[in-house]
Amino acid sequence: PVPSKDAYMTFKEIEYYLKHIGNNNPRVELRSLGKSHEGRDIWLVHIKPVTSKRVGARIAFSHMRKRAIWIEGGIHARERISPAVTLLLIDHFLNDFPQDKPFDIYIVPMANPDGYVYTWTNDRLWRKNRRNNAGSCEGVDLNRNWDAHWGVGASTQTCSEVYRGPSPFSEPETKVLSEEMTRLNNQLNFDLVLSIHNYGQVLLYPYGWTTNPAPHTEDMKKKGNVFLKAAKAHAGTVYTMVNTAGGFYYAAGATDDWAKEKLGTRYVYTLELRDKGRYGFTLPANQILSTATEVWQGLDMMINAIAPEKTARPN
Ligand code: 0X9
Ligand code: ZN
């Protein structure tokens, strides 16, 4: 099987695809990081770099090996284009990404499986996870639950779309993601952390909790421009880039601020995919392939631009 390019996949279909590549592709290591509230797996796809036999490549490889990228999709249930694009990125990295890039790529295509399933069964526009808040309203906004200035620009009300949860990392979904990211970052020091959402066609750079500039803001802007240019070159789609708190809105407790502040990752972005509001969260499935294509064009160029940099990493 391959990820669908023209229909949104159900969670079961996604799992079927992930298990297929996990069992059949030697470059893929598939792991469950733990379970959601309702007992679904949070899957991590690790794509290992190609171990080239070519002379030279192997030499280059041995000292460049520890480079790593983390990509998170599907943290908001209704943003179906996010997991759809994320799955096609996996397919792209396995099949046509230039083979000599010394990156370990870690991808979580579906960070909020319970919410995603709920958009099929009950409410197409559900955003949060499915925590039982022991009241009339369910769910925590997983992108307000990370332990980074938790509380700012988020709600204490269980019925809110941006309910932050009872405490930082109260949710199994954010807890297992952050634990694995911490563990891997200690070994590999991520070069890039990307959280994929929709909509708006905006590339956001941290912080979301304050307009104070984050470390390496100029670097993030430079490489962000590489993304915008390459994404536009594909089909003319215009993505803009803004600082989250300055140009989008204040909100803390998101993946990006946590990665920037707690992991110290140099390149951290939240990418809001298509469109600019015509369809919004219900982006038609016939735009999956073109959206994915512009994203991988942009990402390939961005990764190429990041690759030669020597960044300090732990031993
Ligand atoms: O509000 C969000 O969580 C994201 N936008 S969305 O419309 N997909 O919900 C943006 C998150 C940006 N990052 C921070 N606010 N830290
Ligand atoms: Zn979102």
> In terms of pLDDT, which residue wins out, 3 or 308?
3
Summarize pLDDT for 57-92 with one digit per residue, the tens. 444 444 455 799 999 999 999 999 999 999 999 999
Contact 194, 260 (CB under 8 A): no
Summarize pLDDT for 108-123 with one digit per residue, the tens. 999 999 999 999 999 9
Radius of gyration of the chain (CA): 18
pLDDT of residue 59: 45
pLDDT of residue 308: 85
Range with the lowest mean pLDDT among 27-41, 88-102, 286-300?
88-102
Q: Please list the active-site residues.
A: 272
Q: In a mutational test of the pocket of ligand 1, which residue from 257, 270, 272, 274 has the highest number of ligand atoms less than 8 Å from its CB? A: 270
Ligand 1, CB within 6 Å, residue ranges: 76, 79, 143, 197, 204, 208, 244, 251, 254, 256-257, 270, 272
Give this prediction's pTM. 0.95
The ligand 1 atom nearest the CA atom of 209: 16
ipTM: 0.99
Contact 180, 111 (CB under 8 A): no
Tell me the CA–centroid distance for residue 32 and ligand 1, in Å. Answer: 25
pLDDT of residue 115: 99
> In terms of pLDDT, which residue wins out, 288 or 66?
288
202-205 vs 192-198, strand pairing mode: unpaired
Tell me the CA–centroid distance for residue 75 and ligand 2, in Å. Answer: 7
Ligand closest to CA 255:
1
